[in-house]
Amino acid sequence: MENQSEYEIQILDGIEYRCVKSYDHNYVTHCKERWRDMNILTMFLKEFKAYSEDYYRQAITLGLIQVNYKKVTLDYILRNGDTITHTATRSEPPVFNRPIKIIHDSPNLLIVYKPASMPVHPSGAYYKNSMLYILQHEMGYKELHLIHRLDRVTSGIIVLTKNSRTAASLTGLFEKSSIKKYYLARVKGRFPTDSMEINEKILCVDHKNGVYKVDPSGKDSCTIVKHMFYDEETDESVVECRLITGRTHQIRVHLSYIGHPISNDICYGGQCSNPPIVPDAYYKLRFGDQVVKLEKTSQLEIFLCSYRYILTKNLDFSSPQPSWAQKT
């Protein structure tokens, strides 16, 4: 099933990367209600954050972004019924060349282990380097329903279903917080207690860049943290985190808030000692003779892994622990 003609493996600084070859892509969407009466440039900057304002200005001016299959000006006002198209020769940010591992495969259910660096589904600058694309187009799983998500930089268990009935049933369990979700994280410093419950509300403070913080006006959030072991040589601890709620970046924000951020999570107080070394060629969009540089990925992986999901009494799934979570 694997179509390796779409990508190539590159070894950069001793690390294997999956690098998608440039390809022509035509994105088609229709004017949503919230876009009505907005000019087209403002809409792209607000809704499609993968690329810069300079890129969108050039794409609209050159006619790579069109409305109703016609070239428009930067101040075109979107209306109900408009069809918006976006055509370009895409390059995608590379991801680690690590396999998606199948943990469980049954007629209704698919449980996989997603490696860090790839997004769960196509989004922003990622399409063929997403987990869902690889499962459907390279591993032969055609009809899949995604039940939940993980951050691109996080590794671990993902639950998918093969039909809408099972999807509805599991979605209900997730919404009721009936599913038990356990993560492993490696944090800075010696964790102070054997166990701690963190009940702090979380608020999104930057929608464009996806940044969150603890704030009294945020959403109720609860994480139970259990100390596993302390590594004196690195002054880091490995902890197990059980999510009671499921807010975006919840574990990352809560651990940072108590003064023990994930050790290499640069968004929330950690330090990335080995930033990715990837050629600039993979961070460009090309249309004709025009080339637009894209923002480079600053981090591909953090020490956070969803390693156990208990769906029901008889559906208890675990993944191998990553090397950074193992005591040496």
Strand-pair category, 315-318 with 304-312: antiparallel
User: What's 226's DSSP letter?
Assistant: E
Q: Tokens 């919404």, residue?
A: 175
Describe the chain by its helix, strand, coil percentages, rounded to 5: 15, 40, 45
Which residue among the candidates 24, 37, 54, 151 is catalytic per the annotation? 151
**How many alpha carbons lie under 13 Å from residue 147 in its C-beta half-sphere?**
27
Pair of tokens at residue 182:
């356990």
- Other beta carbons less than 10 A from residue 207's beta carbon: 9
With 0-12 / 13-18 / 19 or more C-beta atoms within 10 angstroms meaning exposed / middle / buried, residue 276 is buried
Return the SS3 of 282.
helix
Return the SS3 of 270.
coil
Q: Please indicate whether residue 151 is annotated as part of the active site.
A: yes
Q: Calculate the CA 25 to chain-centre distance.
A: 21
Indicate left, alpha or beta for 70 from its phi (over 0: left) and psi (-120 to 50: alpha). Answer: beta
The set of catalytic residues is 151
